[in-house]
Structure 1
Amino acid sequence: MDKLVRSIKFPMFFDPERLKKDVYKIIDKNWTNHYNTNDYSGKWTSIALMSQNGKSDSIFALPSGDEKLVPTEILESCTYFQEILDSFLFEKTAVRLLKLDVGAEIKPHTDNCLGYEDGCFRLHIPIITNSKVEFILDGNRLIMNEGECWYIDANFIHSVANRGAQDRIHLVLDGIRNEWTDHLFFKEADQNDFVRPATEVSENEKQLMIAELKRMNPPNLDAILKDLE
């Protein structure tokens, strides 16, 4: 995986004040504790802006079945978030606000099949952050500022620690790769840098990967499965 692109800071910028205005509208709503309780210490919570059942406490990053996401009651009052989501022309599989409280840490971990080379991807838009947030991806620290838009390949080990005096809140979008996103990504890096090098994997690992890919059902599923053969 040495040549794969780990991260991209896209040449787009969102108004931090408008982002914060939407967050402050719902800051006192019910934030749900993140479900991966073994992966963090302190307080890490989320609100879904879109989910399969339209409820803001449905914060799972991996939706079940083929049912599409719909706006939650939270998104209805957040007009700038709606504008941003409408500007991204790809199918969303998760749309959440993630809040990492002061002193909280997300332990080093990986997220399976969540790199652009898999046909799926994750974007981060920082809304509230501080200079003492330490986001480490594959051994390198990423400085993600308010209003920026970042891609991270979550297949690589990553961790986050909020050592500052202010809670960190990101808008996090998971999506399915398509022609529109190819144009966006390939302007920033060569398309060959999003191709997973051939590696020897056990048959059990291969079957787990195939099962996960079939469940996520990206548009280029057949091509990915052929590469795994």
Structure 2
Amino acid sequence: MIADFATAPGDGQQASALPDRKCLAPRFDVDALVADLATITGSGTGWTPHFVSANYAGDWSAIPLRAPAGETHPIRQIFSDPTATDWVDTPALAAAPAIRAVIGAIGDPVQSVRLMRLAPGSAIHRHHDHDLAAEEGHARLHVPITTNPKVRFLLNDVAVPMQPGELWYLRLADPHEAVNAGTTDRVHLVIDIIAGDWLRGLLTR
């Protein structure tokens, strides 16, 4: 997996028996997730700008909650390192019981976990992330925490109507993009996993 280091857009959806998106069970407590977000940001934990600046305009930033073991630099902590084999919780996660419950509900091995914020007036340009597909053995899950009606996320040029508290699988090896045309932050809990029987079972159910 080479997560986050995107290349030129692909030609469209991969041929696959698995869907390019799916809202998975269960749904999580939005108020509790919002409270965790407030606790983390209120403690002085800062947002780190996404390191692939060519992929966005405006403010796209992250807070690491689970990072490669031994990393202390903020940029390396928010990088979902494809070569890492040992992942550890960051101090910010200790004060977030609702987020820990989400992670605990994931049935496949969890690697990177981040809060990712797309500020008002910001956009993620169309791109794709190599090998972030269940078919390739690695996947990225999204749980929206805060959003607004003017946020739009497109995968293979089709909108994905993600709502707070929902758990979504997205095949991000396919072309995708996002824009926040609203006046409030869009914050997602983003979880990278080794895709195994748990995720495949949900996608084929």
2-structure distance, mates of 1:84, 1:54: 23
Q: 1:180: Cα distance to partner? A: 2.5
Query: Is 1:140 paired with 2:161?
Result: no
From 171, 174, 178, the equivalent of 2:192 is: 174
Q: Indicate if the aligned counterparts of 2:30 and 2:145 stay in contact, CA closer than 8 A.
A: yes
Query: Is 1:16 paired with 2:20?
Result: no
Structure 2 residue runs without a partner (length 5+): 1-13
1:141-160, aligned counterparts within 5 Å?
Answer: 141-160=159-178
Q: Indicate if the aligned counterparts of 1:7 and 1:151 stay in contact, CA closer than 8 A.
A: yes
Q: 1:63: Cα distance to partner? A: 4.2
From 49, 53, 56, the equivalent of 1:37 is: 53
From 79, 93, 97, the equivalent of 1:60 is: 79
Query: Is 1:113 paired with 2:131?
Result: yes
Counterpart AA for 1:45: S
TM-score scaled by structure 1? 0.77
1-structure distance, mates of 2:65, 2:165: 18
1-structure distance, mates of 2:78, 2:184: 23
Structure 1 residue runs without a partner (length 5+): 188-229
Per-residue displacement from partner, 1:112-134 (whole Å, max 9, x unpaired)? 00011101111100000011001
Per-residue displacement from partner, 1:141-161 (whole Å, max 9, x unpaired)? 111000011110001110010
The 3-state SS of whatever aligns with 1:164 is coil
Q: Indicate if the aligned counterparts of 1:62 and 1:93 stay in contact, CA closer than 8 A.
A: no
Misfit runs of 4+, over 6 Å: none
Bigger mean CA deviation after superposition, 50-59 or 158-167: 50-59
The 3-state SS of whatever aligns with 1:13 is coil
Q: Indicate if the aligned counterparts of 1:133 and 1:161 stay in contact, CA closer than 8 A.
A: yes
Counterpart AA for 2:195: R
Query: Percent identity over the alignment?
Result: 32
Counterpart AA for 1:70: V
Give the number of the structure whose residues are more often helix, by fraction.
1
Q: Indicate if the aligned counterparts of 1:54 and 1:72 stay in contact, CA closer than 8 A.
A: no
Query: Is 1:92 paired with 2:110?
Result: yes
Change (3 A) 1:12 1:55: farther
- The residue aligned with 2:4 is none
- The residue aligned with 1:25 is 39
TM-score scaled by structure 2? 0.86
The 3-state SS of whatever aligns with 1:143 is coil
Q: Indicate if the aligned counterparts of 1:43 and 1:104 stay in contact, CA closer than 8 A.
A: yes
1-structure distance, mates of 2:188, 2:203: 21
Q: Indicate if the aligned counterparts of 1:39 and 1:107 stay in contact, CA closer than 8 A.
A: yes
2-structure distance, mates of 1:148, 1:54: 30
